[in-house]
Structure 1
Amino acid sequence: MFNIQGNKVAWIYNWWQLPEGPGQGPVGTPFWEYVPMLHSDRPDHTNTWFQNVEKCAGVNPAGAIHVLSFNEPDQCGNGGSCMRDYVQAANAHKTWVQPLVDKYGSRLYVGTPAVTNGVQAPDGGPMGLPWLREFMKHCDGCKFDYVVIHWYDSSRNVEYFKKQLQDAWNEFQKPIWITEFGATGRVDEQLGFLHEVLLWMDA
């Protein structure tokens, strides 16, 4: 539906390393870049990581390559990769993502792990931007070109959404990718939320 010339949708991803699957197209599409994600450091993800990134990179040998690191490592459940130990997560990133920098050089653009908009976990440990702050401290020598965040809350909390983005910018001073966000509420409230925040982000 969106894979047409002139469309504003330029890239796609799906928590996995390739777009293959029911209803999904091949790696190479005319107007989309597929962005592979290393969802977690589980062997069933890491075992295929390097070869699948190479497949994606091979579609346009001269073009840029973007990759996404771990999905919600700061939480367990709801799609989170449950990598709450940020030291372990930093070491895993160094093992599986950082080597791509040596291979692809300036063509490669690397995203941080995608964190939730949480602050503190039930065990008292950090979540969200505080978790990412600790991760970045321990991922010394890692290359990051953009910060990846998620946000879920009420559609009435537009200012909270804006603050989360502003806080991410103030903290890390890097472009921000919001790869997941959702607002609860009635349909008219959700539409109002989207209308305001999408225009605000575009501006």
Structure 2
Amino acid sequence: MASKLLNLVALSSLAIMACTFGAAPTTALSTGHLNHANRHVAHAPIAAKKKRDQSKRCKARPSTSLASSTAAHTSSSVHAQAAAVTTSSSHSQAPASTTKSSAPATTSKASSGGSSTIGTGQFGKAGSKICAAWGNGNDPSLANFKTDHVVALYDWGVDKPSDADKLGFMYMPMLWGGSQDKINAFEAAIKPGLGSIILGFNEPNEQGQSNMDPQTAAALWKQHIEPKRSMGYKFCSPAMSSRPNGFQWMQEFMAACDGCNVDMQCLHWYDIGFDTLQTYLTKYHDEFKLPIMLTEFAEQNFNGGAQATMDEIWDFMGQALKWFDETDWILAACPFGIMHDLQGVNTLNLLQNSDGSPTALGSFVINDGNN
């Protein structure tokens, strides 16, 4: 009898463990903002061998420190025009009859902050602020995404695509993180003329990204980025994710990096609604008084709520593009989506078809809303 009782207890314990540590659902959107850390773990060609199998991860636990996304907003009757784009994928069609959305009437330009013409190229000119967050290496489809409105390019590393100069992109190298292999690659590649703006660490406030405390980041910045000033480079800060802890992280970094040259503020944004984006960027600008480069953004809910619909994404992008053009302290905006695998981001944000051509949304973005 005692042995049967022990067997029952053992079986019960195994069942409890299986429920607690079982595989997470395969959908990458089911784990809330904590799953943000596993987004684009493997940007090709930077870390293609490190892509995680999302189906084998333990489900992330909720965190009370995370801000909830705004509920999916109601799509307005005014959308973005995208006429006669014949190469778009079936899930990225533009609304049938649309015009470029207007930003809210209360939008105003800040009087403080750095010059909107910092760096080189066309930064600061209305309609010429789009940059390509490029994850496809030397794929010739890069040519499909160069227009007069797309002025810059980065690839989360220092491997400039072979056609970047010929196509007229301003390349921006990045020191992705503090691991020795990233540092070695960065130091070996950086030389005068590789680019004109160095991008700081990728989401150091995220465990799944470069993941370091502000003081360590400041020390690495002083050792490996600051000396590149003598080569003529300007610098964009470490890029915060839109997780709420990023704001305090950046405050501590700026304090620890006393004497550092930080010319621009790099930021990422994943959430729902244009108003949310506008509030987020304005908060950083008002605090740090730096012009902003939005080096990743997409309408993506990492907080467990509803994802934006296709109509809502078009409406959001129309408002965002107009506001970027009208706001002098926004230097550039790099939409996340010029790639074949969005790695956990709502695929309605996709900007590239499987054949390498722009989707309807992609065409709208790279033409600054004028198709």
Q: TM-score, normalised by structure 1?
A: 0.81
Residue 9 of structure 1: which of 126, 150, 157 is its match? 150
Aligned CA RMSD, in angstroms, stands at: 1.6
Give the superposition deviation at 1:76: 1.3
* SS of residue paired to 2:190: helix
CA distance change for structure 1 residues 41 and 183 in 2, over 3 Å: closer, same or farther? same
| Superimposed CA distance per residue, residues 77-112 of structure 1 (whole angstroms, 9 cap, x where no aligned partner) | 2xx2111x11111111111101111x22xx321000
> Could you tell me whether the CA contact under 8 Å between 1:148 and 1:176 is conserved in 2?
yes
| Superimposed CA distance per residue, residues 162-201 of structure 1 (whole angstroms, 9 cap, x where no aligned partner) | 0111111101111100000110311111111111111111
Q: What is aligned with 1:180?
A: 296
Structure-1 separation of matches of 2:178 and 2:221: 8
Where in structure 2 are the equivalents of 1:10-159 lying within 5 Å? 10-20=151-161, 25-26=162-163, 28-54=165-191, 57-58=192-193, 65-77=196-208, 80-83=209-212, 85-101=213-229, 103-104=230-231, 107-119=232-244, 127-154=245-272, 157-159=273-275
> Could you tell me whether the CA contact under 8 Å between 2:203 and 2:239 is conserved in 1?
yes
Structure-1 separation of matches of 2:214 and 2:299: 28
Q: TM-score, normalised by structure 2?
A: 0.46
| Superimposed CA distance per residue, residues 12-68 of structure 1 (whole angstroms, 9 cap, x where no aligned partner) | 001111224xxxx356334111100000011111012123121xx335xxxx71110
| Superimposed CA distance per residue, residues 139-183 of structure 1 (whole angstroms, 9 cap, x where no aligned partner) | 0111011000011012xx221110111111101111100000110
Alignment coverage as a number of residue pairs: 176
Give the superposition deviation at 1:75: 0.6
Could you list the runs of 4 or more consecutive aligned residues of structure 1 that deviate by over 4 angstroms after TM superposition? none
> Could you tell me whether the CA contact under 8 Å between 1:118 and 1:128 is conserved in 2?
yes
Structure-1 separation of matches of 2:296 and 2:167: 24
> Could you tell me whether the CA contact under 8 Å between 2:171 and 2:196 is conserved in 1?
no
Identity of aligned residues (%): 31
* SS of residue paired to 1:148: strand
Structure with greater strand share of residues: 1
* SS of residue paired to 1:150: strand
Give the gaps of 5 or more residues in structure 1: 120-126
> Could you tell me whether the CA contact under 8 Å between 2:197 and 2:235 is conserved in 1?
yes
